[in-house]
Structure formats: structure tokens, C-alpha cells
Amino acid sequence: MNELEINKRKTFGIVSHPDAGKTTLTEKLLLFGGAIQVAGAVKSNKIKKSATSDFMEIEKQRGISVATSVMAFDYKDLKVNILDTPGHEDFAEDTYRTLTAVDSVIVVIDAAKGVESQTEKLVKVCRMRNTPIIVFVNKLDREGKDAFDLLDEIESKLDIQVTPLSWPIGMGQHFKGVFSIFEKNLKLFKPHGKQDEEDTIEIASVNDPLLEKIVGIQDAKTLKEEVKLISEVYPAFEREDYLLGMISPVFFGSAINNFGVRELLDCFIQIAPQPLPRQAEERIIEPNEAGFSGFVFKIHANMDPNHRDRIAFLRICSGVFHRNTNYLHVRQNRKLKFSNPTSFMAAKKTIVEEAFPGDVIGLYDSGNFKIGDTLTEGEVLHFKGIPRFSPEMFRYVNNVDPLKTKQLAKGLDQLMDEGVAQLFTKEFDGRKLIGTVGALQFDVIQYRLLHEYGASVQFEPVNLYKACWISAEKDSDLQAFLQRRKRDLAKDKSGKWVYLAESPWALKLLQENNPEITFHFISEFE
């Protein structure tokens, strides 16, 4: 039974630069899965002018996704789990961690803007893990770059080998549709957002005489030439190469018009991997093992502001998770059981009795979990590759209302457990510093402290270049260094020593003068 359930699951993430149309694509996929009923719910007043996957107030105000949402839907007897990730670069760290919980990704690229910086960074993380990638070139209903130029740009900037599985006929005002190389048929574009079945015309090949009648002689001629060129220049699609991360299929479409989305989804469910093995420090965990295991890759406080709940997102790696069953919390070395584990359709939650490898469930948490924690049936396992990055922006935290000191401490504690930012306490004077990867996170922290915990803070700028973790082979070397550099040291939330460097030059000099000390710029959670 377990094997059958594993084979039914496809868990993937959608990544892109802001404004490439990622949230729209997510919503159209949910529409095909019947998970939402309203096409264009992004624009619908019924859902407070916000997309189904954006549920935090500050996201609605700014129109950006800052928290990773998890959405599940059924499609053609399969269970598809989407992890929607923040596109905004200030929240890249959240996205990097989410990528540890997926088995494949879809990268969305704006046809007019091409490959943008944030996409490059995120794809680099996928490449490090050899995660299978499908590319969706979006917004073909607007004027954009030439399709071949886009493919060249994708290959050179993202360092991936591509093979088109669909090809556009025209673009912008002259966009007539897409020829599906994968399914060998023609999809005609009508800007109504319905993508009805009657818009699909079966043609045996681009040499079918029917093609000229439908799209005109000139467009038919261009399509024939381009499809011939594709077969000569790009490798034929092999699923094995895709699963190894060696080749990435490319699809073209327009998510806002719901065009090209069904082809993407139909191909995805055929080729995308089922739940994959996961590397733990102790051994490799296979999904079809009998023993349950899973890891927490995200924590979100106050998803429902009325209930002050805190939810830990758990990716199941092996075995079957059962409700009301005792599981070992490895870091705390104690048993916990969960009476109301939930599955998600964006902000809508339902209680689950059991969950299988590939599934992501939410566990209500009263403060037991940190990102990277492992739950098992008893085996001691530590899953690898859940990074914490060296922050590059820093502010001192000043409490505006001393009567709310308790609330501030609780709020900071919980938000840091979520991985929104990192908290450092200076050794010299005990002042608290927040370090982030991007400036927007300070706004989010300030907003959430006030609205969720009733604590007011002001941030005071501090001139620092980087915070890096330090270690030494000999404890005596570390102690001597700590004694010498007291003013520049702090401890992170888990009590690890951190060096606060004022400038690249100061850090370089320190590294040269203290070869016995190792400076770390990424720290994996213990």
C-alpha cells in the first residue's frame, strides 16, 4: 500500500524572480486540480484581492509572497504538492530551505525580461543538489525576446542544458498558439483564460497540410523551419537525463490567460520524479522504508492571528505518519504525539489521519521545533543540507515599550525559530542584534512584532559587513581568540560563537593572522 501511495505523489517547488508570474501559475495549476473554483482569483474581490497562496497581511499589502505556502491537490489520480516560494530576494533564505523539501522544481521566466538575478541564485541551489528542473517561459501574450535568444540566455545564465517540449507561434499581439513537441499537437491561443479542449488541434507533425489552413502560410513556414532547427540543435528529451538534472524541458505559455498550463501539468505528472531518497548524516533514507521519518524545513507563527498558532512544516521522507502516534523528536530526545496534523490548501487547512513520503504536513507547535529538526519512529537521524546563511544586514533592536519586554522576547524567539532572520547577543555589552539577508525582512519583523505580539521596536543601524561562525580544532586556540576579540563577538540563538566583522578588509586580515581559527559563512542546523 505504501509503495502505491509513494508512486502517486509529486512534490515540487515553483521558483522565479518577482513579477515573473509565479503566483498566477500556481493558481492556475490549483484551478486544474479543482483546488480552487475561481479562475483569476488573484483579481477577485472575494479573496480580498490577494492570491490564494499569499496569506500574511504584509504580503497582501505589498503584493509579494514572503512566506512559503504549501498547497496540495489531486490531478489524474495523483497527489500533487506545490511549495510556492517567495520570489523577493530579501526572502531567498526561506526559499533555499524550501528547496530541501522538494523533489523537483518549475522555474518561471518572463519572456520579456529573460533570466533575472534572483532566478540565477535559486537555480544555482537546485544545481548543487541536481534537482530536476522544468522551465516555463511565461507572458507570451506580450511582446518579448526571441524564443531562441531566450533559450540561449537560459543555458548560459542558469548553466543548464535545455530542450524545448513546446514552441510558440508568434508573440505579443501576433501570438497564435503553441505547437506541443511533446504531445504532437497544436494549441490555439484565445485570450479568454479558459483553454478549452476545442482549442487543441491534433496534427501528426508540422508538415500536416492542416497547419497552413489554421495559422497561415507564413507562420506555418516559420514554425516548420524552427522545429527542424530545434531537432538539430537541442538534444532529444530523455527522462533519465531530466531526473539526473542534466537536461531541462522548456514550455511556453501565458499563465494569466491559462494558456500552456495544462500542457505543462500533463507533462510534469508524466516525467517528474516521485519522492526521492534523502541524505541524512547517518545514512541515506529511502522513501519505501517501513520506519517513519521526516524533517522540519519551515516554521510559521500565527498563520491564523485569532488563534496564535505556530505551525512546523514537516516533509515526510519515509514510512507513514499517523495521527496521535508517539514519535521521537531527535534533538530533544523525547516522544511527541500530534492530535491535529494538517494538510494545506493555502490558508485552508484539513486534519489528516495519515501522510506518506513526499507529503508536507503542518504540526501545531508550542515551541518544540527548530528548522532542521527530525521526527522518527525511534532511529536517531539528522537530515543534511538545511542551511543558515551568514547575514549581511544588521540592526540593533531597541525596545520602545519597556512594559512589553516579555512580549518582545517571546516574539523575537518565535520569529527567529521561523528562520525569518537571526538573532545575535553581543558578548561585550549584551545588546541584541538582528541579522538578515535583505532589508525588507526588518519591515516584516517590525510589523509582525507589533501586530502579533503587541511589542514595539525600533531598529538602529549598525555598520557591520558580515557575521560568521567560528571554530578551532583545539579548544585552547578558540578560548585564546575569544579572549582577544571580546568586543567583536556574539552568540547566536543556539549559543554558538559568531564573529562580527566590520569590513571585508578587517575579516581578511583576521583570517590571515589567525590561521588556527576557521570562519564559516554557512551554518547547518544542529
Q: How confident is residue 230, by pLDDT bands cut at 50, 70 and 90? A: confident
Query: 278-376: same fold as 9-72+87-271?
Result: yes
The model's pLDDT over 49-73, given as tens digits with 9 standing for 90+, comes to: 344 444 445 445 544 443 446 778 8
pLDDT averaged over every residue in the chain? 80
Distance CA 11, CA 17 (A): 21
> Residue 235 carries which DSSP code?
P
Give the cell for residue 135.
522551465
Residue 159 grid coordinates: 548553466
Contacts of 186 (CB under 8 A, 6+ apart): 177, 178, 179, 180, 200, 201, 202, 203, 211, 214, 215
CATH of domain 9-72+87-271: 3.40.50.300
Per-residue pLDDT at 329: 92
CB 431 within 8 A of CB 425: yes
Is the pLDDT at 317 greater than 80? The verdict is yes
pLDDT value for 37: 52
Residue 168 pLDDT > 90, yes or no?
no
Report the pLDDT value the prediction gives residue 315, as an integer from 0 to 100: 92
331: pLDDT strictly greater than 60: yes
Ordered by start, the domain boundaries in the chain are 9-72+87-271, 278-376, 390-524
**Which of 59-68, 448-457, 505-514 is most confident?**
505-514
- State the pLDDT confidence band at 36, using cuts at 50, 70 and 90: low
| Mean pLDDT for the stretch of residues 328-354 | 81
Q: Is 167 helix (H, G, I), strand (E, B) or coil?
A: strand
And the C-alpha cell for 130?
541536481
Region of poorest pLDDT, from 181-190, 389-398, 506-515? 181-190
The confidence band for 341, taking pLDDT boundaries of 50, 70 and 90, is: confident
Of residues 238 and 441, more confidence is placed in 238
Q: What is the mean pLDDT of residues 350-373?
A: 85
Using alpha carbons, select from 393, 389, 106 the residue that is nearest to residue 255: 106
Predicted local confidence at residue 191, as pLDDT: 60
A 10 A CB-CB count for 125 gives: 20
Q: What is the pLDDT of residue 417?
A: 74
pLDDT value at residue 14: 87
Give the per-residue pLDDT at 34: 65
Percent of residues, the chain, with pLDDT higher than 70: 82
Using the structure block, give the residue that is written with the C-alpha cell 542584534: 433
Mean pLDDT of 209-226: 78
Residue 54 has a pLDDT of: 46
| Choice between 353 and 87, residue whose per-residue pLDDT is larger | 353
Which pLDDT does position 190 carry in this prediction? 67
Cell of 246: 542534466
Residue 466 has pLDDT above 50, yes or no: yes
Q: What is the DSSP string of 173-211?
A: GG--EEEETTTTEEEE--TTS---GGGEEE-SSTT-THH
Instruction: Tell me which DSSP letter residue 494 carries.
Output: T
Cβ(206)–Cβ(215) below 8 Å: no
**φ, ψ for residue 39 (rounded to 5)?**
-70, 140
Instruction: Report the pLDDT value the prediction gives residue 375, as an integer from 0 to 100.
Output: 92
Whole-number pLDDT of residue 178: 82
Considering the four listed CATH numbers 3.30.70.3280, 3.40.50.720, 3.30.70.120, 3.40.50.300, the one that applies to the domain covering 390-524 is: 3.30.70.3280
Residue 79 has pLDDT above 70, yes or no: yes
The angle at the Cα of 323, spanning 318 to 326, to the nearest 5 degrees, equals 75
Cell of residue 348, nine digits = 485552508
Q: How far apart are CA 261 and CA 141, in angstroms?
A: 14
Q: Which range, of 336-340, 397-401, 442-446, averages the lowest pLDDT?
A: 442-446
pLDDT value for 395: 92
Higher per-residue confidence, 308 vs 106: 106
| Rounded percentage of the chain residues whose pLDDT exceeds 90 | 21
**Which DSSP string corresponds to 39-94?**
TTTTT-GGGTTS-TT--SHHHHHHT---S-EEEEEEETTEEEEEEE---SGGGHHH
pLDDT of amino acid 249: 94
For residue 72, what are the contacts with CB-CB under 8 A and spacing of at least 6? 35, 79, 80, 81, 82, 343, 344, 345, 359, 360
Instruction: Give the pLDDT confidence score for residue 376 in this predicted structure.
Output: 92
Confidence of residue 301 (pLDDT cuts 50, 70, 90): low
Q: Which residues lie across from 370 on neighbouring strands?
A: none
What average pLDDT does range 313-331 have in this prediction? 92
Mean pLDDT lowest for which of 68-77, 110-119, 408-417, 423-432?
68-77
Residue type, 45: N
DSSP reduced 3-state for 237: coil
Contact (Cβ atoms closer than 8 angstroms) between residue 20 and residue 92: no
Supply the Cα-derived Rg of the chain in whole angstroms: 25
Q: Looking at domain 278-376, which of 3.40.50.10800, 3.40.50.300, 3.20.20.70, 3.30.1540.20 is its CATH number?
A: 3.40.50.300
